Structure 1
């Protein structure tokens, strides 16, 4: 094992909750191997305990008064949430390699699994996207799936019924469609006795639908509506007492540190063994990767209540930032918006004010996106509204940007430098073109701010009496 794997496995093997926010496409296979090794160890130990107790019960010499409580209300012990089928395929391959090491084991439904979950990448595919994008979207990226895995002594059965499975691998969407929501009829009994929850690539769930993850967490450890053939004399006492959440281990792996993921970990990690959050190293921020000669103005708006952040940000934008852009006739202006709800609000305001703009979001068809990019590039429309989720899934290189406004800092800090570097078009002479960048932030954005401009600078800006700060990047800065 590598030092990273050894460290993670030691924490996991102590059955402590862990939140690791420095996952990347470079160390993803190391992390998968570490938690797969732990979950196999857990399942095998649990199975051996049940088999041993079954033998004792059948033994006539055994005392009839002794309790053998070694089970939950339902069989599934481990739940892994991953965003794409390709991720599930890689996990299963690691499990197979671990289980079949040094012995022969029968694999059921493997051919079907390979057909449904794996796609070979095209060898002649042009590498025009960033490295992390190619690594994330390689293979089968369908996000609607779920299947059970049953692990026996010499048989590994894929696609086993949930209530006959030891392990469930699913996407949040795949589980959400069967557990339903509050007020809907759904089946979530199989989540009642989960002992190990692994949330891998949690940052991707933010770009999919975070509400699915929250609904799954609400359904965990609820009292089953059906007995499902359980022998209550073998059910652990702490499960019957409704204390399962305090005995569940939760492991969260993400490539970014965001308030949403941190809140998920803090609010849903009740492990009596404790929890560990591995802090990210202080960084100089992604601003150091900007090579374009670009003045960047950071505007801090006042907000005294977190529930008012959206309203205060919108009012500051329409009263301070937008009039300044319109007064100086700044064309070729992109407004980058991470939240789709904020995007809809700004789009409706632009429509109401009869402003000339194009909207670039994940729901617009491909042909229209190409048309909008061309209109913006040639200057026929002065404004472009651009969502972070569209950039996450497409990673367009948008040409023709002269002015960029970050309505809110992106979840992925490297998007900031990536977008700022787009302002310098190597195919055009832009020596006499004014380039500007404006950023809106408040005290509740300190985590994103630290990842963007660096930990020390973020601390100074948040506590400063000044509300406007400027940075100039580039070769001559």
Structure 2
């Protein structure tokens, strides 16, 4: 365990920290605040009604720490843990919560000696009108910001498109009059182009003076506080993405913290003067939220942060390593690179961690209300907020002052449960129910006006785009500075299959998104299933890939109960299937006892089964991840040819798609083909 705090360490003032009182079990329930018509007056009223020193530290039920429970050795489907969100209760008694550590009650506000100001702050701490932090957060211009916020409320956005470094960029800015084109931020090629805190610049310059291609693409939008949806995250570029996200988060935190401490010194010097107004805080202390898929991904982020800021001490680091680090993960040789990258190490997807910074120390497992950064999986954070069935008891005040949200490996979060992500965004930047000791005279005006969500920056990093991410980006990212979506031009994976195989894409019509599942099912049962039934024994070796679990249940029940499929023996593998059951299904499929094997995308994501005996593949719907198409359509059939179970060139692939599958289809057939396949009169397209 790292040493305690150095006496010289400076911390954020108590105005953004939480007294360590436990809430009593019989505490009177409070009503959830409604969106205020006059935000400032409503806020003052609600805070006046709460006790001035009343704050709480939640005790949360959670998975045992690593010291108490053996670590898992294989990927665990999220579906196995979703039910736990309904079981969250406050444990009786005062047992230790594994997510937090006890801290001294009422940490005193840092008192800065006037003579020590020169030594305490960086020489770059003076105001810089061109610093994006000053422009966006500290000194925003009302004549620029307010018209943009008004446009956002009215749904007025203007879109601009550009091509840069083989990426398509769509920049959206609030539409204000007079309308003028918004240029892309100036290029950033290295540390020298950034407005960094001096200590960060000195730390990073020897290590990363020049940025790589990924960093140069991400940095201009990230450091200029645009919302960002980056849809070209790769395994090779993952470290670069983490580096930029962590450097930006630390720069934001350090500037916020140092400004507060410096203003504390000013107030102390000018005590009793009424004309000194310093607005530098939010309602609560946490400023950065990072949503990540696994504990190992959290370890990577934390290690990146400590490598950048180089703290003198790391308090509770041993406990963090014991709970989060797992060094002995073993994979078979056939696992893909992206699978190894995601599931290496501790794969637990229920976690939450508070990280607190002082000048020389990083403290792990700090209480949320005393933390600067919160790391969490979507399910872990949802459990911390509480059960939706007990709306009045939800605790989300610690999310009220989040100014930067980072979703890394968002494609992996999609395979867990995207509803948890949507749930969390619903409770970001709401007016807190309790005061938590905040000083209203120091609160930024845009917090008091209930405009915090228009200043929050959200950065989403994913390997590809999906309708779910696009919708979240559209509805929950309302940054007045604008937002940008970046995604590549796709060449497609059709020509990259390791063998020659006939690939047929069949389009069906659907009148709306809501009607699409029924239209797909009807097309499958009328146009695809009869041909399987007629083949009889020749249908053996048919792999039916069904991405959605809801579609999987519907198709499985049809095979089991409908007379049209009574002659077809079949097995199933989904994300809920136990390993022994899945092994038996694969064995029966190989020896022909199961002619059809129904297989889901989540099962493939979490397990990457190597299924033998595949002679033909039917994609009930295309996978979100184009690598899955290559692995299944190409890899499985190639193994069958190699083992002499399939004559060379006789394997077939059939794919069902509608016009609402444009994103998935583009990644598989390529950007140049997708438009024609969606719009042309013909409904069948063959590729070899």
TM-score, length-scaled by structure 1? 0.95
Greater mean deviation of Cα atoms: 441-450 or 7-16: 7-16
Shift of residue 284, structure 1, vs aligned partner: 2.0
Per the alignment, residue 201 of structure 1 pairs with 409
Per the alignment, residue 238 of structure 2 pairs with 28
Q: Determine the C-alpha separation between the residues in 2 that align with 1:273 and 1:58.
A: 35
Q: Determine the C-alpha separation between the residues in 2 that align with 1:62 and 1:317.
A: 77
Following TM superposition, where does structure 1 have runs of at least 4 consecutive aligned residues deviating by more than 4 angstroms?
none
Per the alignment, residue 359 of structure 1 pairs with 572
Shift of residue 436, structure 1, vs aligned partner: 2.0
Q: How has the CA–CA distance of structure 1 residues 369 and 126 changed in structure 2, closer, same or farther, with 3 Å as cutoff?
A: closer
Q: In the alignment, does 2:665 pair up with 1:449?
A: yes
Per the alignment, residue 334 of structure 1 pairs with 543
Q: Determine the C-alpha separation between the residues in 2 that align with 1:77 and 1:379.
A: 57
Alignment of 1:173-252 (within 5 A): 173-184=379-390, 185-252=393-460
Greater mean deviation of Cα atoms: 425-434 or 47-56: 425-434
Q: In the alignment, does 2:621 pair up with 1:423?
A: no
Q: How has the CA–CA distance of structure 1 residues 374 and 125 changed in structure 2, closer, same or farther, with 3 Å as cutoff?
A: closer
Q: Determine the C-alpha separation between the residues in 2 that align with 1:416 and 1:3.
A: 28
Shift of residue 61, structure 1, vs aligned partner: 7.0
Q: Tell me if the contact between 1:192 and 1:222 (Cα under 8 Å) persists in the aligned partners.
A: yes
Shift of residue 403, structure 1, vs aligned partner: 1.8
**Is there any run of 5+ residues in structure 2 with no aligned partner, and where?**
1-210
Shift of residue 64, structure 1, vs aligned partner: 1.6
Shift of residue 75, structure 1, vs aligned partner: 0.8
Greater mean deviation of Cα atoms: 449-458 or 432-441: 432-441
Q: Tell me if the contact between 2:290 and 2:376 (Cα under 8 Å) persists in the aligned partners.
A: yes
Which is higher, the Rg of structure 1 or of structure 2? 2
For residues 106-134 of structure 1, what are the alpha-carbon distances to aligned partners after superposition, in whole Å with 9 as ceiling and x for unaligned? 21100000111111135x75422112211
Q: Determine the C-alpha separation between the residues in 1 that align with 2:556 and 2:582.
A: 16
Q: In the alignment, does 2:336 pair up with 1:130?
A: yes
Shift of residue 432, structure 1, vs aligned partner: 7.8
Q: In the alignment, does 2:564 pair up with 1:345?
A: no
Q: Tell me if the contact between 2:623 and 2:629 (Cα under 8 Å) persists in the aligned partners.
A: yes
Q: Tell me if the contact between 1:402 and 1:433 (Cα under 8 Å) persists in the aligned partners.
A: no
Q: Determine the C-alpha separation between the residues in 1 that align with 2:349 and 2:597.
A: 29
Per the alignment, residue 585 of structure 2 pairs with 372
Q: How has the CA–CA distance of structure 1 residues 6 and 437 changed in structure 2, closer, same or farther, with 3 Å as cutoff?
A: closer
Shift of residue 181, structure 1, vs aligned partner: 4.7
Alignment of 1:15-414 (within 5 A): 15-60=225-270, 63-100=273-310, 105-122=312-329, 126-184=332-390, 185-280=393-488, 282-329=489-536, 330-353=539-562, 354=566, 355-414=568-627
Q: Determine the C-alpha separation between the residues in 2 that align with 1:60 and 1:453.
A: 67
TM-score, length-scaled by structure 2? 0.66
Secondary structure, aligned partner of 1:10: helix
Q: Determine the C-alpha separation between the residues in 1 that align with 2:272 and 2:485.
A: 45
Count of aligned residue pairs for this structure pair: 467
Q: Tell me if the contact between 2:288 and 2:373 (Cα under 8 Å) persists in the aligned partners.
A: yes
Q: Tell me if the contact between 1:56 and 1:62 (Cα under 8 Å) persists in the aligned partners.
A: no
Secondary structure, aligned partner of 2:441: helix
Q: Tell me if the contact between 2:615 and 2:646 (Cα under 8 Å) persists in the aligned partners.
A: no
Shift of residue 434, structure 1, vs aligned partner: 4.4
